[in-house]
Structure 1
Amino acid sequence: NDCQNCGFTQVRINGLDGHYSQILMNSRPVFSALTGVYGLEQIPANMIERVEVMRGGGSALFGSSAVGGTINIITKDPLSNSARVAHTLTSIGPSGAMDNNTTVNASVVTDNNKAGIFIYGQSRYRDGYDHDDDGFTEVAQLKTQTLGARTFLRTTDDSKLTLEYHNTHEYRRGGDQLDQPAHMAMIAEQVDHNIHAGEATFDLWLRDRRDHLSVFAATQNTRRQSYYGSEMDPNAYGRTSDIVVTAGTQWTHPIDRFLFMPSELVAGLEYSYNRLHDVTVGYNHDIVQNVNIYSGYLQNEWKNEKWGFLVGARVDKHSMIDNPVISPRANIRFNPSDNLNFRASYSTGFRSPQAYDEDFHVAIVGGERVVTVLAPGLKQESSQSVSLSADLYHRFGNVQTNLLVEGFFTDLRDVFALRQLDEADEAGNAVLERYNGSGARVMGLNIEAKAFFSSHFDMQGGITLQRSRYKQPEQWSDNPEVAAEKKMFRTPDIYGYFTANWEITHSLKASLTGTGTGPMLVQHLAGSGTDVDLAVRTESFFDASLKFTYTFRLYNRVNLDVSAGVSNIFNSYQNDFDRGPLRDSGYMYGPMLPRCINFGVSLGI
């Protein structure tokens, strides 16, 4: 879902959106509550090796502040001597708006594999996109530059030092009059991020590499200049500083036999510090938030070819919560054969009552600013999650298939909810208050299937059926005539995806992808689109994309890839945007972009 002028992408795990997920970088929790809103979109794809998604309340190893799941972004390591430069040009809709994205990366490794470095960079410029020609953007203007490197040094045969650093400068601007200063526009939402992030990890293997000790430190420092205002308001400029520092150690110890079978013991200690300072001088807004988290975890996994039993727990002492939070985790795996795998898991998690990313995004509704505040005595939100799954592999002749069926249930207590207060704040802003609601239950069924017909053709897809409901109807509007809602907003009861990859010839490849989203409830606040607050049931969306890539082999180990494609082929896109300066800037849903034409070229060595 693209937030009206600034724009961010949400993910969904086990029926819960991205606000309930924890984002990690190389298993390190360096994304703060503020930077998590843009965290995924600000990371260049050319620096990512893979993305690991862990469902449920959290992992004892990676933290408990994930209620729905954990997204772990693993960056690329230097593995061989290589280089690649690529450029992609995207035409957005029929308006002539363009998205230019250039990426560069190179990897150098010594002959003895004792040291290596991977360097990556990105430069991107995207025009603002106005879908309904009212002079106000539906997709923000974007300018991004990223430069970073990841390097390793094997200090001995049994030790390794890894260092990583990257800097991202990103500017986003939406609304009208994009070529003018923000305070000259009728609506402007503008953020200018400057992010420095770094990590250092030292790995040591002992006892003939049976024991593994890892010590790490990571940080992310964000400086943000912002403007959230309307009607040429000169007082809506703000600035935010946000720093995260995390450090810890982890020990992994295999045991030949512990009680009843071989096992692996993992223990660790972590410390995390976050300081956030948010200021809007013209509105007398000045917030300082300091968070300290001391954590320890212990996990043991018994495993053999047929059985696996995992038991672990994490203890977090959060400075904004009076008592330590204990988060247990358990998992059972049963493999009756090589082709069948059953799992059952139980986990818990929590979200602390600190200010979150959306609390520092000031929406514009009906031409006035709407800010979010925390209710007095706000308690942490907690979860308990249970999942059962069956994973089946079977070969039909030359076709290898995989079927995953998973049921999930999450019970949320003291769930965070929003309600609009009757009175404005001292600066005249409308106020949304974050409070503890009655709780909620999220349950559903997830089915995924894969088929590998040959080395040249494969398909996979999945569908999720879910039910997300508050335990008691929650009043979300200050209008007493607006009904309270028991269904959670922006949570469709059905959604799914598919991908297909076909190597047509040795040089020509095609990929077809798609995502489908069923109807959902979305809040539509009074403005130019409606006279009263409404809970709108959206239409369904199906976003399909097709891409062809042809490879020219110029010289030995030198390849030129040329690609072309169409995304959102059927132009499945929201058609009821609010118009003009009195619009509800948060009334955005569905696919982020309309139909787009894409062209790309890539040179690799």
Structure 2
Amino acid sequence: MKRIIMTIIFFVSLNQALMSYSGDGINISGRVLDASTKEPLIGANIIIKMTNLGTATDINGYFEIKRIHVENPELIISMVGYQSIVFRLNDKNSENLTFELKPALIEMGSIVVTGTNTLHLYENTSVKTEIVPKKLIQQQSACNLAQALGLQTGVMVENDCNNCNFTQVRILGFDGKYSQILIDGDPVVSSLGGVYGLEHYPQEMIEQIEIVKGGGSSLYGGGAVAGTINMMTRRPAFNGIKIYYSGNSIDGTPDHQIGAIAEIVSDDNKSGFYVFGSTRDRGSYDRNGDGYSELGKLKNETVGFNGYIRPLENSELQLSFHRIVEDRRGGGDFDKPVHEASIAEWTNHEKWGGKLRWNQKVNASFEYKINYAFSILDRDSYYGGLPDDTPEAKLQALKYYGHSDNPLHTAGIQANYYLSGHIITAGVQYDYDKLIDKSVSSEAYYVDEIFRNIGVYLQDEISFDSEEHLQLVGGVRFDKHSALSDWIVSPRINAKVKLWDALNLRAGFTTGFKAPQIFDEDLHICGLEGTQRVIRNSAGLKEEKSYSYTFGAEFQDFVGDIPLLAGVTLFYTRLSGAYGEKFISSDGVIEYWERINSSGARVKGIEFDFGVKPLNKLEIRSGFTFKNNQYDDILEDYNTKEFLRTPDIFGYVRIAYDYSNKFSLFTAVKYTGSMYVPHEIAVDYQDNPIIEVNKSKEFFEIDFALNYKLNLIENLATEISLGIKNITDQYQEDLDFGVDRDPGYVYGPSSPRTVYLNLGFKL
């Protein structure tokens, strides 16, 4: 901590020595309005092009940037869901300006950072980025991160266990371990935290989600093989309080959630504070009436805050903290203690997380940040079953209780330099991940490991003209991981060519790697007949490397007065030393599997995106993925080269209709094609199960929602939402039955037909 404080003092002193804001400069001020309604736009972004300077509008749509020393600056005025404007200034037209933004598609106007770790407009970034804005999260009635990711091109969220509902996100068909999940750009979701982590983070925390596909190791380190998911937390923007209730009936099973947020921002915008909290209580759901859950019982409580202060001009100290407590249980015999149930999977998580970040803009050309983030996770668990009521069996069942500790820390320094069409980014990042896992009944499979990684990276974004008709992003990162003897080099290059100011061509080559450590599925023990399935790395396991190629074309503009988006992207990823699993042996109630390096694998395919707003109040958006995933060699235990649990075709269509300022409609159709799913069939309690691979059917999920806003009491805005998810009750038909079932044999929609009512109150 002393070193961190001394480092901050050094950089603050350096800033004061280098500060080049001499004299008065020019002041920029004005207001941003909706072009159709003439109402003020709250939180619109105003950025001075090719600098690190900018601000946002207040609750009345006003903004101000003082003492600017940039010759003939260009302003970029943007807002989520609106067409952005570029405006050139001079010292005679810099104050009391008025800008009117035209409504556009929901993604347009978003500011994204994940692709390059610098600020860019969604429609102008050289790295293709998928956006999940706050409005879309609310339209879906998504209560957490997992539910918010359901309507994105090339992205799927699946349930991998009927007992505990372990979820993972797949990008372009890759297992969840190949996707790196970030919180505000920090890699603080560990392997243990990722087992159930997608459901841990409530929607109150989330402001926007950014998804970048392909290798991202040149910026974020190991893990970004298939892609990167960056969950951006809520930043305080205005004063207000909101309380809401969400009541769900999952085919008759209750699921209730209550949440509250409060935020306050000082009059001079030099400090802000955002507090949030939520609680969720879901009952267990048994689809086929065999006494064992398809959805387990769940209780989740989350509290936290985000805040910032600006002690110096053009500086900011950000602080955040959250605490998550979750209790989940699946299996059967819910009226008994877990160790007396015939099958039970139970976990109790207590998670603390947060960050401390110092941002400093030394001048219009140079900025740096120093950041520290952490995640501390304690987990109590039980994975097992009681085969009979004998005293010996009951004594044995008590051995299935386990405990895991997982402190994770990350720290780094990054600097950005803006110079004549270049944005040069350089940084150093250090990660420390300690894991003590005793969730398996046998001490032979306990884990006590510390993984360290240091990464050094350099990137250059080049714009060859002021209109950004040609942009290149080149970068490289060097990583030294404690599980490997050699440094890993991860280069990348991306290019964007703008044609006719509306058509963007993008191409990229990116690389990623995955070090041989402990992965999320290793720490989820899926019980078959009370058996604990354990996966561990084989001796001498090497890193897995990926090489991704993408090429695409995208049109984003207005055709007349109609916003239109149309895009196509080709992708190909090659895995070298791809990780596979090999069955080794069984020892009583433990199945032992090893992870090995196979010869490799590849993924190839094409994506289509389409969006249109034919009426000012009607928006249609869709995305479809056609792909093929195969290993080079046949998987020994499954007798196939195909990637398992991932369809070759999937996609969505969503429609939003804002009939008025008070009444709106939302509907979505999600298609999941057939896929190959592994199935373990129990033969004898002590013998190896039979493993077969079945091909699933296809699914069409349909959601529909109504939303109405009204003022029941003066100064109290009320919002009511009524909806149905999975209207036609699409669900797996061949679920295993009884105590001998394979809880990992699960595919398709994670929830059956669900009716919900949401109530929100805002002061």
TM-score range for the pair, normalised by the shorter chain length: over 0.9
Out of 455, 464, 473, the residue aligned to residue 310 of structure 1 is 473
Report the aligned-residue RMSD: 1.6
**Displacement of 1:14 after TM fit?**
2.9
Aligned-partner Cα distance in 1 for 2:690–2:424: 58
Aligned-partner Cα distance in 1 for 2:658–2:440: 58
**Partner SS for 1:11:** strand
**Displacement of 1:280 after TM fit?**
4.2
Aligned-partner Cα distance in 1 for 2:751–2:279: 20
Aligned-partner Cα distance in 2 for 1:524–1:4: 13
Identity %: 34
Match of 2:623 in 1: 462
Q: Does 1:604 align with 2:762?
A: yes
The aligned runs of 1:112-151 (5 Å cut-off) are: 112-151=268-307
- The code of the aligned residue for 2:555 comes to L
Match of 2:263 in 1: 107
Match of 1:41 in 2: 199
- CA contact 2:440–2:532 (8 Å) conserved in 1: no
Q: Does 1:564 align with 2:716?
A: no
Q: Does 1:503 align with 2:663?
A: no
**Displacement of 1:59 after TM fit?**
4.8
- CA contact 1:124–1:142 (8 Å) conserved in 2: yes
The aligned runs of 1:374-389 (5 Å cut-off) are: 374-389=537-552
Aligned-partner Cα distance in 1 for 2:502–2:715: 38
Match of 2:327 in 1: 171
- CA contact 2:647–2:673 (8 Å) conserved in 1: yes
Q: Does 1:210 align with 2:371?
A: no
Out of 548, 557, 576, the residue aligned to residue 734 of structure 2 is 576
- CA contact 1:64–1:327 (8 Å) conserved in 2: no
- The code of the aligned residue for 1:470 comes to Y
Match of 1:264 in 2: 423
Structure that is richer in strand per residue = 1
Between 1:149-158 and 1:11-20, the stretch displaced more is 11-20
Aligned-partner Cα distance in 2 for 1:120–1:149: 6
The aligned runs of 1:139-288 (5 Å cut-off) are: 139-207=295-363, 209-231=364-386, 233-256=397-420, 262-280=421-439, 282-284=441-443, 285-288=445-448
Match of 1:519 in 2: 674
Out of 446, 451, 454, the residue aligned to residue 607 of structure 2 is 446
Out of 56, 61, 69, the residue aligned to residue 227 of structure 2 is 69
**Partner SS for 2:219:** coil
Unaligned runs of 5+ residues in structure 1 are: 257-261, 478-483
The aligned runs of 1:472-551 (5 Å cut-off) are: 472-476=633-637, 484-527=639-682, 532-551=690-709
Aligned-partner Cα distance in 2 for 1:499–1:53: 18
**Displacement of 1:41 after TM fit?**
1.4
State the TM-score, normalizing by the size of structure 1: 0.95
Structure 1 residues 394, 245: CA separation in 2 closer, same or farther (over 3 Å shift)? Answer: closer
Q: Does 1:404 align with 2:562?
A: no
Q: Does 1:340 align with 2:503?
A: yes
Q: Which has the larger radius of gyration?
A: 2
Deviations 1:191-214 (A, max 9, x none): 10000001000001112x321110
Number of residue-to-residue matches in the alignment: 589
**Partner SS for 2:339:** helix
Deviations 1:148-178 (A, max 9, x none): 0000000111210000000000011000012
Deviations 1:507-564 (A, max 9, x none): 1111112221100001000128997321010000111110101111235553101111
- CA contact 2:729–2:753 (8 Å) conserved in 1: yes
Q: Does 1:50 align with 2:208?
A: yes
Which structure's relative contact order is higher, taking Cα pairs within 8 Å and 6+ residues apart? 1
**Partner SS for 2:218:** coil
State the TM-score, normalizing by the size of structure 2: 0.75
- CA contact 1:528–1:584 (8 Å) conserved in 2: no
**Displacement of 1:268 after TM fit?**
0.3
Aligned-partner Cα distance in 1 for 2:354–2:643: 37
Aligned-partner Cα distance in 2 for 1:281–1:71: 30
Aligned-partner Cα distance in 1 for 2:168–2:304: 25
Match of 1:352 in 2: 515
**Partner SS for 1:39:** helix
**Partner SS for 2:187:** coil
Structure 1 residues 307, 282: CA separation in 2 closer, same or farther (over 3 Å shift)? Answer: closer
Structure that is richer in helix per residue = 2
- The code of the aligned residue for 2:244 comes to A
Aligned-partner Cα distance in 1 for 2:425–2:672: 39
**Displacement of 1:64 after TM fit?**
3.8
- The code of the aligned residue for 2:726 comes to N
- CA contact 1:158–1:206 (8 Å) conserved in 2: yes
Q: Does 1:321 align with 2:476?
A: no
**Partner SS for 1:129:** coil
- CA contact 1:147–1:167 (8 Å) conserved in 2: yes
Aligned-partner Cα distance in 2 for 1:594–1:131: 9
Structure 1 residues 543, 17: CA separation in 2 closer, same or farther (over 3 Å shift)? Answer: farther
- CA contact 2:195–2:523 (8 Å) conserved in 1: no
Match of 1:481 in 2: none
Unaligned runs of 5+ residues in structure 2 are: 1-157, 387-393
Aligned-partner Cα distance in 2 for 1:508–1:437: 55
Match of 2:583 in 1: 420
